[in-house]
C-alpha cells in the first residue's frame, strides 16, 4: 500500500487539480452574476428542482457517507448499513414536514421562519445559536477528516491539506456565494454518483454479477461469520441504536445547511421536486454502499483490516485499487486516484454548504437584524457575510490544525445531528404548526436542545473523562447518542416556555405564517417582486442569475 | 442599494420594533379571514389527511426496524429465501422502497390535488383583500394577475 507513505501521489494530485479547476471555473462564472443578498444566499432563487436535488445530494453526502459507511460495513457488517437507512429515511421528514413550508416562509436563513411571528432579536439569536452549533461541530469534523484523508490518499501533509480545503471553501463562498456553492455541490454529486456506480459495477463483476454473493463471500472473509450479517457488532447497546436512529431521522430535518437549500428554488413545487431528485440520488447511493462495504470485505478480505485505518475510511479507496487491477498497476493507481479526488470534491462541497449557512447566521441574523436592527444596507449585509465566511473558515482551519489529526471528531457529527434534531427541528416544526407557540417557547426549546445535547455527549462514555475513555460521568447513563433523551427534552422545552407565557402578537400572526407556508401567498419571489411592488429594496431582478449549465 | 431593507409597516413604532423587523410581511391581506376561508380549510384538511398518516406510517416502519435491530439481532440475521440474504437486509431495503414510494405518491397528490387547492385558497385571499380595498383597482383582472405574481405561478 504505497500510497499511505508520505510521498506524493502525482496521479491523484493531477486529478485533484482538474476537479478544483472545474469548481473554480464555475465560481468565476458565478462571481460575475452574484450582486445582491438574494443571489448571495439563495442563488437568486433561480435553481430548478433537478439542479437543487443534485445540490442537496452534494450538500448532504459527506465523506463520512462515502468513505465512512463503506468502512463501517467493511469492519462491522450490517450495522454500517443502518446509517445508510437512517440517512435516507430522514428525507421523508424533510419532504412532509419542512421543505415546502421553508421555501414559502423563509428568505435566507432558518431564523427567518422562526422569527416570522416572534420577537425578532431573541428568536433570531436562538436560531443563530442552533445554526452555529450544528455547522461548527459538523465543520470541524469535516476539516479534520479532510486532512487525514488527503494526507493518506495523496501524501500532502495534514496541516497543508486542511489549509487547502479551507482556502478553496472560502474562495467559493466569497467569490460566488450560494450560486457557486450550489454548482460545486452539483458537480460533486455527479462525480460521486458516477464513481460509485462504476465501482459498484466492478465489484459486482468480481462476485459473478450475483449481489447475494456479496454477503456470502463477505461472511466467509469475516472471523465473525453469520454475526457479520446481523446487527450488533458496532452498535452493541440496543437503546443506543434506537437513540442514534431517531437523531438521524429527525436531525436531517434540522440541518441548517440542508434547509437553506430550499430558499434557492423559485417555488414550493420546485422545492418538492428537489427532494424527489435528492431521494432518488441519495437512495441509489446508499443502496450501493452495500457493494462498497460488503464488497470491500469480500474482495479485500480480513487481511486488509489493518490497512483500512481505525475507522475503515480507506476501505473504499483500497477496494477501487484492488478491482482496478491491484496496487502498482495502471488501472489500480488510476482508480484509486479518481476515488481520492471524488472524496476531496465531496468534502469541499459539504464544507462550503456548512460555511455559507453559518455566514447567514452571523451576517443576516446576528449582524443585520440583531445588532443593526435591520437598518444596514443590503451591500453591508453581503460584505459582512463574506467577512464572516472568511472568519469562520479561518477558525475552523485553526482548530483543525492545532487539534491535529489526533483530535477526537468521532462524536462531533453525531453531536451535530443531535443538536439539529433536539434544538432546531422542534422549534421550526412548532413555529409552523402550533398557534400557541411563542418566543419564550422557541428560546427555551433551542437552549434546552443545544445544552442537553452537548452536556449528554460530554458525560457520555465516548468523551468522559478524557481521550479514549470508556467511563462516562454517571454510572447509570451510558448512551453514546443523546437523541432519545435530548429530542423529547427539546420539545418539552418548547412547550414549557410557551405555556408559561402569553404573547398575543405571536398567536395573531400565526394566521399569516400558516396560510403563507401552505399556499405560498406572499412568499419571496425569485425575481424580487413583492406583493405590492412597494416593499423596497427587494426589487432587484435576480432571475438573471441562472447560470448556464457548465 | 443603500436604503434600509426588511422594512415593514410597523417600523416607525418603537413598541412594534421588537416584532417583525427582518421578514417582509403583507398587512394588506386579511390573513385571519384567509385562514378561516373554506378554501384554505379544505386544503389543510385534504393535505393533513395524507401527510399525517404517511408521517406516522414511515416513522413507525422505521422505528420498528431500528427496534428490531437493537433488540432482535438474531431474528434480523435469519436467512430470507436464500443463503446470505438476511431478514434485516430485506427490511432495510424495504425502507428504501418506502421512501421512494411515499415521496412519489406525495408528489403526485400535490400536483393533482394540493396545488390547485392552494391556488384557490390564495386567490380567494387576494380577492377578499381587493374587495376590502374598496375597488381601488379592478378586482377581476388585477387580482388574478397578482395572484399569479404572488404565488410565483
Question: Which pLDDT tens digit goes with each residue over A459-508?
Answer: 888 777 665 555 566 666 778 889 999 999 999 999 999 999 998 888 88
Q: Report the pLDDT averaged over residues A451-462.
A: 89
Whole-number average pLDDT of chain A? 88
CB A432 within 8 A of CB A111: no
Q: Which residues face B86 on adjacent strands?
A: B79
Distance in Å, alpha carbon of B141 to nearest chain A alpha carbon: 15
What span, in angstroms and rounded, lies between the C-alpha atoms of B9 and A547? 35
What does the H/E/C string look like for A330-389? HHHHHHHHHHHHHHHHHHHHHHHHHHHHHHHHHHHHHHHHHHCCCCCCHHHHHHHHHHHH
How many whole angstroms from its chain centre is CA A80?
A: 18
pLDDT at A473: 61
Give the lowest-confidence range in A7-11, A159-163, B8-12: B8-12
C-alpha cell at A219: 461472511
Report yes or no on B78 lying in a domain.
yes
Interchain CB distance below 8 Å, B66 and A514: no
Report yes or no on B105 lying in a domain.
yes
Taking phi over 0 as left and psi of -120 to 50 as alpha, with beta for the rest, A366 belongs to alpha
Q: Best of A287, A291, A366, A519 to disrupt the B interface by mutation (most B CBs within 10 Å)?
A: A519
Distance in Å, alpha carbon of B17 to nearest chain A alpha carbon: 8
Distance in Å, alpha carbon of B6 to nearest chain A alpha carbon: 6
Report yes or no on B23 lying in a domain.
no
Q: Report the pLDDT averaged over residues A375-395.
A: 93
Interchain CB distance below 8 Å, A519 and B118: yes
Residues of B in contact with A88 (CB under 8 A): 95-96, 99
Which residue in the set A290, A511, A540 is minimally distant from B31, CB to CB?
A511
DSSP string, A404-416: -TTS--HHHHHHH
Q: Is B45 on the interface with A (CB under 8 A)?
A: no
Nearest to B32 by CA among A507, A518, A520: A507
What span, in angstroms and rounded, lies between the C-alpha atoms of B44 and B129? 21
Report yes or no on B5 lying in a domain.
no
Which residue in the set A232, A237, A530 is minimally distant from B24, CB to CB?
A530
Residues of A in contact with B150 (CB under 8 A): 520-523, 525, 531
Q: Is B82 on the interface with A (CB under 8 A)?
A: yes
CB A26 within 8 A of CB A184: yes
Distance in Å, alpha carbon of A162 to nearest chain B alpha carbon: 35
Q: Is A419 on the interface with B (CB under 8 A)?
A: no
Question: Which ipTM was obtained for this model?
Answer: 0.90
Report yes or no on B14 lying in a domain.
no
Distance in Å, alpha carbon of B90 to nearest chain A alpha carbon: 12
Shortest CA distance from A105: residue in chain B:
B23
Tally: H helices and E strands in chain A: 23, 0
Nearest to A529 by CA among A266, A268, A274: A266
B83 three-state secondary structure: strand
Is pLDDT at A382 greater than 60 in this prediction?
yes
Element at B101 (helix H, strand E): helix B87-109
Q: Which residue has the cell 488527503?
A: A150
Interchain CB distance below 8 Å, A229 and B63: no
Residue range A25-46, pLDDT digits in tens: 999 988 888 888 888 999 888 8
Report yes or no on B19 lying in a domain.
no
How many whole angstroms from its chain centre is CA B95?
A: 23
Interchain CB distance below 8 Å, B21 and A369: yes
Q: Which residue range(s) make up the domain with B55?
A: 32-151
Q: Is B103 on the interface with A (CB under 8 A)?
A: yes
What span, in angstroms and rounded, lies between the C-alpha atoms of A237 and A375? 53
Confidence band, pLDDT 50/70/90 cuts, at residue B18: low
Structural domains of chain B, count: 1
pLDDT at A527: 42
Distance in Å, alpha carbon of A195 to nearest chain B alpha carbon: 21
Residue range A390-424, pLDDT digits in tens: 999 999 999 999 988 877 777 788 899 999 999 99
Q: Report the pLDDT averaged over residues A447-452.
A: 96
Residue range A203-238, pLDDT digits in tens: 999 999 999 999 999 999 999 999 999 998 888 889
What span, in angstroms and rounded, lies between the C-alpha atoms of A111 and A114? 5
Give phi and psi for A338, each to the nearest 5: -65, -45
Q: Is A519 on the interface with B (CB under 8 A)?
A: yes
Which residue in the set B26, B83, B149 is minimally distant from A216, CB to CB?
B83
- A2-403 has CATH 1.10.287.130 classification: no
pLDDT at B19: 55
Q: Which residue has the cell 380577492?
A: B127
Element at B80 (helix H, strand E): strand B79-80
Interchain CB distance below 8 Å, B96 and A121: no
What's the predicted TM-score (pTM) here?
Answer: 0.89
Report yes or no on B83 lying in a domain.
yes
Amino acid at each position: 500500500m504505497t500510497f499511505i507513505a508520505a510521498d506524493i501521489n502525482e496521479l491523484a494530485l493531477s486529478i485533484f487539480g482538474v476537479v478544483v479547476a472545474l469548481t473554480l471555473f464555475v465560481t468565476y462564472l458565478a462571481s460575475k452574476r452574484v450582486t445582491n443578498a438574494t443571489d448571495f444566499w439563495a442563488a437568486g432563487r433561480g435553481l430548478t428542482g433537478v439542479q437543487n436535488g443534485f445540490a442537496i445530494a452534494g450538500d448532504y453526502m459527506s465523506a463520512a457517507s462515502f468513505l465512512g459507511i463503506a468502512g463501517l460495513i467493511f469492519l462491522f457488517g450490517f450495522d454500517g448499513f443502518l446509517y445508510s437507512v437512517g440517512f435516507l429515511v430522514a428525507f421523508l421528514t424533510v419532504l412532509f414536514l419542512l421543505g415546502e413550508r421553508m421555501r414559502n416562509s423563509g428568505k435566507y436563513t432558518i431564523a427567518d421562519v422562526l422569527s416570522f411571528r416572534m420577537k425578532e432579536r431573541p428568536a433570531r439569536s436562538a436560531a443563530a445559536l442552533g445554526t452555529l452549533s450544528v455547522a461548527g461541530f459538523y465543520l470541524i469534523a469535516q476539516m479534520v477528516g479532510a486532512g487525514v484523508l488527503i494526507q493518506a490518499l495523496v501524501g500532502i501533509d495534514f496541516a497543508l491539506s486542511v489549509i487547502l480545503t479551507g482556502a478553496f471553501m472560502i474562495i467559493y463562498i466569497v467569490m460566488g456565494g450560494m450560486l457557486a456553492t450550489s454548482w460545486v455541490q452539483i458537480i460533486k454529486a455527479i462525480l460521486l454518483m458516477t464513481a460509485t456506480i462504476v465501482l459498484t459495477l466492478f465489484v459486482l463483476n468480481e462476485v459473478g454479477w450475483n449481489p447475494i454473493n456479496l454477503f456470502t463471500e463477505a461472511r466467509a472473509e469475516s472471523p465473525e461469520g453469520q454475526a457479520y450479517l446481523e446487527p450488533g457488532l458496532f452498535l452493541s447497546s440496543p437503546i443506543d441504536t434506537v437513540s442514534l436512529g431517531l437523531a438521524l431521522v429527525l436531525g436531517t430535518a434540522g440541518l441548517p445547511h440542508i434547509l437553506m437549500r430550499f430558499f434557492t428554488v423559485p417555488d414550493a413545487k420546485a422545492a418538492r421536486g428537489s427532494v424527489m431528485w435528492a431521494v432518488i440520488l441519495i437512495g441509489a447511493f446508499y443502496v450501493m454502499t452495500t457493494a462498497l462495504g460488503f464488497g470491500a470485505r469480500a474482495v479485500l478480505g480480513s487481511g486488509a483490516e489493518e490497512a483500512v485505518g481505525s475507522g475503515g475510511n480507506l476501505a473504499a479507496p483500497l477496494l477501487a485499487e484492488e478491482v482496478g487491477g491491484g496496487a502498482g498497476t495502471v488501472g489500480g493507481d488510476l482508480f484509486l486516484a479518481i476515488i481520492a479526488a471524488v472524496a476531496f470534491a465531496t468534502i469541499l462541497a459539504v464544507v462550503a454548504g456548512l460555511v455559507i449557512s453559518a455566514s447567514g447566521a452571523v451576517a443576516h441574523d446576528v449582524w443585520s437584524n440583531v445588532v443593526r436592527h435591520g437598518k444596514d444596507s443590503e451591500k453591508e449585509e453581503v460584505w459582512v457575510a463574506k467577512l464572516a465566511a472568511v472568519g469562520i473558515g479561518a477558525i475552523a482551519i485553526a482548530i483543525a490544525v492545532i487539534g491535529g489529526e489526533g483530535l477526537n471528531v468521532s462524536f462531533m457529527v453525531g453531536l451535530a445531528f443531535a443538536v439539529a434534531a433536539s434544538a432546531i427541528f422542534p422549534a421550526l416544526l412548532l413555529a409552523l404548526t402550533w398557534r400557541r407557540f411563542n418566543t419564550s417557547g422557541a428560546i427555551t426549546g433551542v437552549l434546552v436542545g443545544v445544552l442537553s445535547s452537548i452536556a449528554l455527549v460530554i458525560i457520555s462514555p465516548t468523551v468522559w473523562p478524557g481521550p479514549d475513555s470508556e467511563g462516562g460521568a454517571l454510572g447509570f447513563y451510558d448512551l453514546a447518542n443523546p437523541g432519545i433523551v435530548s429530542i423529547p427534552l427539546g420539545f418539552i422545552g418548547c412547550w414549557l416556555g410557551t405555556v408559561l407565557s402569553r404573547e398575543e402578537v405571536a398567536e395573531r400572526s400565526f394566521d399569516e405564517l400558516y396560510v403563507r407556508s401552505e399556499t405560498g401567498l406572499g412568499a419571496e419571489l425569485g425575481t424580487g417582486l413583492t406583493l405590492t411592488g412597494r416593499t423596497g429594496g427587494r426589487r432587484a431582478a435576480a432571475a438573471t442569475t441562472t447560470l448556464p449549465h457548465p | 442599494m443603500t436604503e434600509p431593507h426588511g422594512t415593514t409597516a410597523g417600523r416607525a413604532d418603537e413598541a412594534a420594533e421588537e416584532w417583525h423587523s427582518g421578514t417582509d410581511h403583507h398587512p394588506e391581506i386579511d390573513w385571519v379571514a384567509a385562514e378561516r376561508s373554506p378554501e384554505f380549510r379544505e386544503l389543510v384538511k385534504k393535505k393533513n389527511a395524507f401527510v399525517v398518516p404517511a408521517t406516522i406510517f414511515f416513522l413507525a416502519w422505521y422505528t420498528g426496524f431500528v427496534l428490531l435491530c437493537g433488540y432482535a439481532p438474531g431474528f434480523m440475521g435469519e436467512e430470507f429465501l436464500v443463503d446470505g440474504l438476511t431478514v434485516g437486509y430485506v427490511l432495510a431495503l424495504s425502507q428504501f422502497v418506502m421512501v421512494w414510494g411515499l415521496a412519489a405518491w406525495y408528489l403526485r397528490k400535490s400536483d393533482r390535488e394540493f396545488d390547485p387547492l392552494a391556488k384557490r385558497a390564495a386567490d380567494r385571499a387576494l380577492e377578499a383583500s381587493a374587495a376590502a380595498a374598496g375597488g381601488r383597482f379592478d378586482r377581476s383582472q388585477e387580482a388574478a394577475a397578482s395572484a399569479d405574481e404572488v404565488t410565483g405561478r
